[in-house]
A = this chain, B = another copy of it.
């Protein structure tokens, strides 16, 4: 019985996510669903990315948190449109939550919408929201075994950003092992090693976004 309930929830979500996707496609709007465990650095990555790209790409953000609007406040300081979703206990965003926020954003004025999911390495990967790509962040401090232990998010993601590499000298962690484990789970994963503190590796990530925004713009012309 429990399984059938979950299936109904997932099916209903899929339907709404597809409707969102159709709307985003009509508007040639690239949508990224950004996921990670808590404290891996999603909001810091967003701050860096927006600062680097906002003159070239028109960016909007949806912030998902269980409580507080702290992340949205950080993003608003950068002068881009942002909407905060409070899930009120729920451990992930879903298609319906995204649909509810859309009236608060002027989608026609945007080229890129980044959805920052709730910090959770498990549940967000099960729920599409209508995104073009899922992108995940993993901090090197989380250890080498995460791709094997939490495979779904690695399987669902197009890009893995391995963050906080500035801390590697102080950890018993080898990035090569994280990458090998991630590639075993998802051989097609694009992987960038980054530090939002030192900016190392971020240019490749910016170029990836820029290319995808261009692709989506071109699709509609």
How many whole Å from A195's CB to the nearest CB in chain B?
A: 11
- One of A22-30, A100-108, A118-126, A213-221 contacting the partner: A118-126
A70 touches B118 (CB 8 A): no
A38 to B142, CA, bound (A): 7
B38 touches A150 (CB 8 A): yes
How many whole Å from A38's CB to the nearest CB in chain B?
A: 4
- One of A61-69, A75-83, A199-207 contacting the partner: A61-69
A67 to B151, CA, bound (A): 8
Count of interface residues, chain A, beta-carbon cutoff 8 Å: 38
Interface residues of A in 131-156 (CB under 8 A from B): 139, 141-143, 145-146, 148-152
A179 to B197, CA, bound (A): 24
A136 to B70, CA, bound (A): 23
B148 touches A164 (CB 8 A): no
| A2 interfacial by beta-carbon distance below 8 Å | yes
Of B39, B122, B141, B145, the residue contacting A146 (CB under 8 A) is B39
Q: List chain B residues, Cβ under 8 A from A170.
A: 166-167, 170
A149 touches B89 (CB 8 A): no
A150 to B65, CA, bound (A): 8
| A91 interfacial by beta-carbon distance below 8 Å | yes
A69 to B43, CA, bound (A): 32
- Nearest chain-B residue to A164 (Cβ)? B141
Q: What 0/1 readout, one digit per residue, does chain A (163-177) give for beta carbons within 8 Å of chain B?
A: 010110011100000
Q: Which residues of A contact B (CB under 8 A)?
A: 2, 5, 9, 37-39, 65-68, 70, 89, 91, 118-123, 126, 139, 141-143, 145-146, 148-152, 164, 166-167, 170-172, 197
Ordered by A's residue number, 14 sampled pairs between the chains whose C-beta atoms are within 8 Å are A37-B37, A37-B121, A38-B149, A39-B139, A39-B141, A39-B142, A66-B152, A68-B145, A91-B123, A139-B141, A141-B164, A141-B167, A167-B171, A172-B197
